[in-house]
Structure 1
């Protein structure tokens, strides 16, 4: 083990191995050595998009569909809204099912009809909604061919917009599911209520975020007004321009290597005080009359609830209040019942197991918070080192070491909720035999323990007062921190590989996909200038303002 990580080697071999590890993991000097900004080795593919850029992103997807299918913009928008703004899905359905089926499923009607509103104004048309006759220029025909008076259309559109259904307003005709032309909706509604027409436009723009599985609002509180778009994998962790890191799949805090379901269950378990209920189950009995939990504070097995009901502590059945020489008068429960003993023992084990994982989760959470204070101390140490006449002025190893410490601590923190559910009976009870579970648990815990050991070594090394050391000692601690940083990064990667290939992989659990490991951490958003193409960039951030109305 020592040879793998560089400990116990000669000085020359040690330095060579450290330098190789340092280069392999892509460590780069921060642009500003006094800032603990992680690694800046490559340009960020996260972009902050302003109002115009968001509109351009939407237009780009629309144009792709319009060009391929020779459609008008409102028809292309209807298709994309139906398929959650997934242009690739539109193309796939088009190839597999054909144009007619594609249009039918999305409610698109492309019918060449004469617009009756442009006909002879003297002609009269009967509206089948209000049963009155109107001049042709007072009626509107939708793409599906159905024609009604403008007043009925307007009332229909106003109701749908106020109900929040403006993204897919269908025709009023019986059993017609065609989506109405958005231009007709806009013109008719704006004639009566311009503000409601603006609301309709906002809903259409909002659909690019609300209906797009690759675009989500940043879950910051208070809301920063940003949205995040990913191009490829929705199972990832992203950092918004406001600084919040979150899981793109479930919008919770970044929680890998926990899956979204595991994290949801863990949060629920911690919040609903379920273990308090477990403690009550183990240490109390329920009154047979009022069903409230009762704790026994004496040695006698005849207990009395606050409601006045006496009952036997051993079996829980109601009794009288009298004793005899053998026990409670007119009551016997001395026969052994295996199931009650087993239930109590299982409840105790479940409580102990939860306590084991929760205490370690909480301990690393506290360590992570405490290490935030270390950040300022390290900055002072870096300033002190830079002020000295040392041969090596570069102090980026300090900031890089601190970043690796917090990044790895974060991963170790969430590995405990993962282990709780991975090796428990809540999720995978029938997926593994007891022997398989034991083997996998030992494998995981070995790697988890190695990671934990090296994280603590790295933390202790950063705590050392190396700013006051002589130069040879500074170089020694420098090499030690660089080496520990590389080793810790490698162990994090191995832990993720173990989860993917050895634990979750063989189970083929689609509901337990975890975000991949990123050595340089969650990708940050940067400013986007100029126009936007949907094919460029991996993650796009749209700054829309706290109110969606600011987009329009």
Structure 2
């Protein structure tokens, strides 16, 4: 949906729509507004649903809301008679008694206490029932207006207003902090209801959210991924996994120990000072060999796999959180720029806010990207790197360099070039962001048509294929080193030295070529 197919509603407009729906049902069914309100609320404020149920079986609908048939309706006693209140068991004159649409009378004081306590309990007061045993009737708006205090009346109508929004399919509250506006979708203008599955709306308070899942705008990332990611963010499961995979208990004192570097010889901190092998947890000996298969080693391999998964999650989670924080900071600066009417800075800051939003959700998308499809992962990370590089440059122009032009005596010659540089940086950031959006929308299908793993090397070395082969050979040698890493100590050391020398040669060659290209 390119055009804006929704309307922003304030509280006054919402109340007008609610009264209009109540009056419509009351007029068509020839019933009181109180009863019309009850029927609408029980049908999620859908007038068509109320009409269908009423005309299909009027008597059944009436009984469900406590309306008594005319032949058994309660006849009011003659004026001047005393009636017994079944709550306080005292007798009162008919003038001091009140009743709902069902006609069951109770004293005014008991009604007031009953209504006020129900409203104090919360939104459940909308389902208030007559105190009479087995009576299903709702006292209705008239009784609330008559007996409730101003404080309780305001609370009741606020609950009723929220019920009107929350029970409707085409209206939802804005999710922005402190915002009291609502959004109404115009369904008649939609070509297909499937469009709402990933549809972003922007309230007048400038907060944007997804219509389907009510989370912050996350297009083009799907709601399913966002739900999984947000659940992961609020879960303590990963903390437990980290403790299980990155720590072990001392075999002697059972204290948790974390080992993040060094050899397998571990000494428990004071006062225990027990020495043991990290892999098999057996006592450490002078010539300790831990090379025979046992269940502990199998468990260690599983824990290593868990550690790698946790590192991958930490990588994406940290960048997701950083982009979220950076976007909030940019939003604050955008509000200031709009306040002081700085047009050349507003567009740049708006692009920073949008790019940070896309980059933020790209890390949630990247976390669930299939890690076995290496070409997709590499290409997507490359696109993310492009956006980050373009944003850093734009941040420098829009946040740091602009400060010197805020002074009274700023260099006028430099300022004439500054807006052009700012616009160029904004265009580059926009272009890079659009690439990431297209990649996520198409499930990174572009990576299928190009061998991205060698694209960067071909750009750096366009005429020298030998160096590409050299890199490939290095990868094979390093892979071989990983294979023989379980052999004798001296052999591992020789392999390590050979790989280190080849790596140094490659770095020198790579650096020279890169310097020449930059020059």
TM-score by length of 1: 0.57
8 Å contact from structure 1 (residues 143, 181) kept in 2: yes
Residue 67 (structure 2) pairs with residue 109 (structure 1) = yes
The 2-side partners of 1:411 and 1:247 are apart by 14
Partner of 2:184: 230
Select the structure that is richer in helix.
Answer: 2
The 2-side partners of 1:324 and 1:132 are apart by 90
Counterpart pick for 1:183 among 142, 164, 180:
142
SS at match of 1:215: strand
* Counterparts in 2 of 1:302 and 1:229: CA distance versus 1, 3 Å: closer
Partner of 1:120: 78
SS at match of 1:65: helix
The 2-side partners of 1:443 and 1:300 are apart by 37
- Deviation of the 1:152 alpha carbon: 3.7
* Counterparts in 2 of 1:135 and 1:333: CA distance versus 1, 3 Å: farther
Counterpart pick for 2:156 among 200, 204, 215:
200
The 2-side partners of 1:113 and 1:265 are apart by 58
The 1-side partners of 2:153 and 2:427 are apart by 62
Pairwise mapping of residues 105-184 of structure 1 onto structure 2 (< 5 A)?
A: 107=65, 109=67, 111-112=69-70, 119-164=77-122, 165-184=124-143
- Deviation of the 1:475 alpha carbon: 13
Pairwise mapping of residues 34-433 of structure 1 onto structure 2 (< 5 A)?
A: 45-47=6-8, 49=10, 51-87=11-47, 90=50, 98-99=57-58, 107=65, 109=67, 111-112=69-70, 119-164=77-122, 165-187=124-146, 189-190=147-148, 193=149, 195-209=151-165, 212=168, 214-216=171-173, 218-220=175-177, 223-224=178-179, 226-231=180-185, 232=187, 233=196, 236-247=199-210, 252-259=215-222, 262-263=225-226, 266=229, 269=232, 280-287=243-250, 291-295=254-258, 301=265, 303-304=267-268, 306=270, 308=272, 310=274, 312-314=276-278, 335-337=293-295, 338-358=297-317, 360-361=319-320, 364=323, 403-404=350-351, 406-421=353-368, 423=370
* Counterparts in 2 of 1:334 and 1:304: CA distance versus 1, 3 Å: farther
- Deviation of the 1:286 alpha carbon: 1.8
The 1-side partners of 2:82 and 2:145 are apart by 24
8 Å contact from structure 1 (residues 123, 136) kept in 2: yes
Instruction: Work out which structure has the larger RCO, using CA pairs closer than 8 Å and 6 or more positions apart in sequence.
Output: 1
8 Å contact from structure 1 (residues 301, 313) kept in 2: yes
The 2-side partners of 1:154 and 1:374 are apart by 52
The 2-side partners of 1:369 and 1:203 are apart by 32
The 2-side partners of 1:373 and 1:204 are apart by 35
Partner of 1:9: none
Describe the superposition over 1:213-262 as per-residue Cα deviations: whole angstroms up to 9, x where unpaired. Answer: 63325441xx24x2323325586444343333344555554344445564
Partner of 2:438: 494
Partner of 1:547: none
* Counterparts in 2 of 1:88 and 1:309: CA distance versus 1, 3 Å: farther
8 Å contact from structure 1 (residues 278, 347) kept in 2: yes
* Counterparts in 2 of 1:420 and 1:63: CA distance versus 1, 3 Å: farther
The 2-side partners of 1:92 and 1:113 are apart by 25
* Counterparts in 2 of 1:217 and 1:266: CA distance versus 1, 3 Å: same
* Counterparts in 2 of 1:269 and 1:468: CA distance versus 1, 3 Å: farther
- Deviation of the 1:167 alpha carbon: 1.2
* Counterparts in 2 of 1:99 and 1:293: CA distance versus 1, 3 Å: farther
SS at match of 1:230: strand
* Counterparts in 2 of 1:368 and 1:145: CA distance versus 1, 3 Å: closer
* Counterparts in 2 of 1:447 and 1:111: CA distance versus 1, 3 Å: farther
SS at match of 2:21: helix
TM-score by length of 2: 0.60
The 1-side partners of 2:166 and 2:358 are apart by 30
* Counterparts in 2 of 1:216 and 1:48: CA distance versus 1, 3 Å: closer
The 2-side partners of 1:361 and 1:422 are apart by 15
8 Å contact from structure 1 (residues 412, 452) kept in 2: no
The 2-side partners of 1:67 and 1:492 are apart by 54
* Counterparts in 2 of 1:372 and 1:48: CA distance versus 1, 3 Å: closer
Describe the superposition over 1:380-425 as per-residue Cα deviations: whole angstroms up to 9, x where unpaired. Answer: xx99xxxxxxxxxxx99x96676456424422321211231354xx
The 1-side partners of 2:60 and 2:382 are apart by 56
- Deviation of the 1:170 alpha carbon: 0.9
The 1-side partners of 2:165 and 2:240 are apart by 41
Q: Number of aligned pairs?
A: 419
The 1-side partners of 2:48 and 2:273 are apart by 69
The 2-side partners of 1:288 and 1:177 are apart by 66
* Counterparts in 2 of 1:175 and 1:333: CA distance versus 1, 3 Å: farther
Of structures 1 and 2, the larger Rg is shown by 2
